[in-house]
Structure 1
Amino acid sequence: MLVSETTRRGGAPATSFKVLIVASLRYPIGQPFAGGLEAHTWSLACGLRARGHSVLVAGAAGSDTGVVDYEFGELPVIGRAERPDITEHPLVSRAERAAYAGLTDQLRDGLLGSFDVIHNNALHPVPVERASTLPSPMVTTLHTPRLPWAGRLLGSPARATVTRAPGRDPSFVAVSRATAALWRPLINPRVVRNGVDTTVWRAGSGGPGAVWSGRIVPEKAPHLAIDLARAAGIELTIAGPVIDEDYFAGAITPRLGPRVRYAGHLAQADLADLVGSSAVALVTPVWNEPFGLVAAEALACGTPVVAFARGGLPEIVDPAVGRLIPPVSGPEWRRDRLTAAVRAVTAATALDRRAVRRRAVARLGRVAMIRGYEGVYADLTRQWNAA
């Protein structure tokens, strides 16, 4: 093993790890980020390096070479009818499987070097299937609810296809308690919350309007944020990549106007400026958000959050930093829930921005996330060596 003991100041780790991060292939890792998974991978790599660890990131072609060291796959472009983030198009599926199989073959044969830990940040089953063939322990971060392959690979010992050898099993970490619960009883993942770089997501002065940010897709439901902002009598700015063009054309474009604008797909620094200059961030998913990175980003800017109480969001948003509101189950608001949501917006905008940021830095900063993963790596390598 290449783990080396060091002595550092400033709370740095006593153990330095050599880590390979396996990224998702659905989008390159680079700004402006396609979504939270890509932003998290970037933050994880930069945070580990800042703490003194040696990191190699394997990611999609077209990634930022300042962060991604090894490009191992490029997926075919598909038609507008297919969403690239969730498509099961046969051409995409074959190319994705082949890319991950090739990468794990290279890792097995030592062609990329030796590592203390392989950190699988992808959502594909191949790295999990092949974990027992690799020369280093692997931890997989679960960024989503249970995926279709989970039952086949991680079911009961009688039907699971992943080798269950003491100390050699793939290890799992969930980004929230809510996400961990969705993967049980197949596995019992440890929880390490995502963290944001609070030097990028810096304190903002606030402003008169609201902001909504994220991937523009039906399950994120920015149209509900537009309706809430109008009912509350405040302006709204929407920012993020248009992943579902039909949804944008049908549900967002008709709602745009003088008090609702689309700012485009912004680089992180520009997005942080927008979020920091807003009075409140609206987070309105109609699915169970596994974590809620956009909420963490807003809170780091001192911007209070009003969010649906779904998935991991109740673990981020509490009365000290924002307001949780009952989820909307259909395509539109119920009148009573919209009225209550307007009151929540008023209450959230009255919160002390400095207190909001302090709480976010302590609970949701990148350093807290990296320390959590350092603990995972230490336990994983210790079990691996003992086995």
Structure 2
Amino acid sequence: MTTKPHKLLFISTSVGALGTGLGGGVELSLRNIAQEMLRRGHKVQIVTPAGATWNDLPLVEIPGNLQIIAQSQERTDPIIMPENSVLANMWEYARQVQTDYDLIVNFAYDWLPFYLTPFFCCPVAHLVSMGSLSDALDKIIVQTGKNFPGTLAFHTAAQAETFPTLTQPVFYLQSGIDVSLYEFCESPKRQLAWLGRISPEKGLEDGVRVAEITGIPLKIMGKIQDASYWQNILQEYPNAPIEYLGFLSQREMQKIVRECQALLMTHRWVEAFGNVAIEALACGVPVISYRRGGPREIIQDGKTGFLVEPDSVSGLVDGVLNLSTINRDSCRRSVERDFSVTALGDRAEKWFDSILGN
């Protein structure tokens, strides 16, 4: 641990209140980093849009209208903020209380926090949660990294590579979970899992096609972010053996996932990391994923799952047919070694220390 505890202000995503699932993997990353920092004796305050369901962490809930999710916009779209923007309101709160903190940590994939960085007297660190999606956001992220070296963190090198003009140094935080919360299962049922936001960039229809081809039931869990997309899948694959279980808590989710033969990751974009991968592996569940983005740095091909050609449903099917070659104990051990919440805390603390000159 650092010799001096830090006073940290975490600013959450502006697309949804914490606990609603609208923030995707950002919610899990923020929760685990916050809990580990508190365990290590640091002071942490979290700023979130109003309506959060978490009651075990120190929250300040800010009212206002939610931000449009970045992945629903085109690269050249202008930066848009709604009237009474919760994003602007959260950062106005941060401005008012900044002298009470050593470091502000931005978890939101939004243009405004990067733009505001030079105007704060308190240093601002940015955990960039997605790959390149917007020309305007790319420009301000690269500019911030150049003007404030060391304040940018990415989950993986695969994610950072999507920003081709980015200069060093940047920090690779990866991710981590409390492995003790995930129960290992040696003997799964004949079923597969798919976990994540239900929206086009997640490619759920490919997982449904695998279920249809193999005849193995697919358990689908996650927030329906695009209802029309979900309805189109149901109409196109009316006979596929799928079951939608909703957006589940971590405890409910891992009860289902651990009894699955594998988790399918069918993303059509560059995943910054892929928290669902390490959650499955912690249960001993192999991951069959497209070789795209963060999962290629998590999954050991042939040992903890399979990395297949992007957008190749036949590759996913081949992975399912070869699951008997994967040792589920190896899946669990890989997370215990590389992606525990302690390892994540070590990396986060090192990043914070480097910014603060400790």
Using the size of structure 1 for normalisation, the TM-score is 0.82
Cross-structure match for 1:74? 64
Q: Is the 8 A contact 1:131 1:169 kept in 2?
A: no
Q: Is the 8 A contact 2:264 2:288 kept in 1?
A: yes
Task: Write out aligned runs for 1:221-260 (5 A).
Answer: 221-252=203-234, 254-255=236-237, 257=239, 259-260=241-242
* Residue 42 of structure 2 corresponds to residue 53 of structure 1: yes
1:153 to 126, 133, 140: 140
Cross-structure match for 2:196? 214
CA RMSD of aligned residues (A): 2.7
Cross-structure match for 2:294? 312
1:191 to 156, 167, 172: 172
Cross-structure match for 1:295? 277
Distance 1:213 1:252, change over 3 A: farther
Q: Is the 8 A contact 2:190 2:216 kept in 1?
A: yes
Which consecutive unaligned segments of at least 5 residues does structure 2 have?
A: none
Distance 1:67 1:257, change over 3 A: farther
Question: What's the CA shift for 1:15?
Answer: 4.2
Q: Is the 8 A contact 2:21 2:27 kept in 1?
A: no
1:22 to 7, 11, 32: 11
Cross-structure match for 1:42? 31
Deviates more, 1:250-259 or 1:204-213: 250-259
Question: What's the CA shift for 1:234?
Answer: 1.4
List per-residue Cα deviations over 1:207-258 (Å, max 9, x = no partner).
Answer: 2210001000111011100111222331111111110000000113553557
Cross-structure match for 1:321? 304
Identical positions, percent: 22
Q: Is the 8 A contact 2:208 2:240 kept in 1?
A: no
Distance 1:315 1:164, change over 3 A: closer
Q: Is the 8 A contact 1:20 1:58 kept in 2?
A: yes
Distance 1:84 1:175, change over 3 A: closer
Cross-structure match for 1:103? 93
Distance 1:149 1:99, change over 3 A: farther
Question: What's the CA shift for 1:134?
Answer: 2.4
Which structure would you say has the larger Rg? 1
Rounded Cα–Cα distance in structure 2 between residues aligned with 1:226 and 1:285: 13
List per-residue Cα deviations over 1:135-162 (Å, max 9, x = no partner).
Answer: 332210111112433354355xxxx5x5
* Residue 333 of structure 2 corresponds to residue 358 of structure 1: yes
Distance 1:86 1:39, change over 3 A: farther
Question: What's the CA shift for 1:204?
Answer: 2.7
Report the residue type matching 1:367 in the other structure.
T
* Residue 106 of structure 2 corresponds to residue 120 of structure 1: yes
Report the residue type matching 2:354 in the other structure.
D
Report the residue type matching 1:343 in the other structure.
D
* Residue 130 of structure 2 corresponds to residue 144 of structure 1: yes
Using the size of structure 2 for normalisation, the TM-score is 0.88
Rounded Cα–Cα distance in structure 2 between residues aligned with 1:172 and 1:38: 18
Which consecutive unaligned segments of at least 5 residues does structure 1 have?
A: 1-11, 329-336
Distance 1:33 1:352, change over 3 A: farther
Q: Per the alignment, in what secondary structure is the counterpart of residue 331 of structure 2?
A: helix
Aligned length: 349
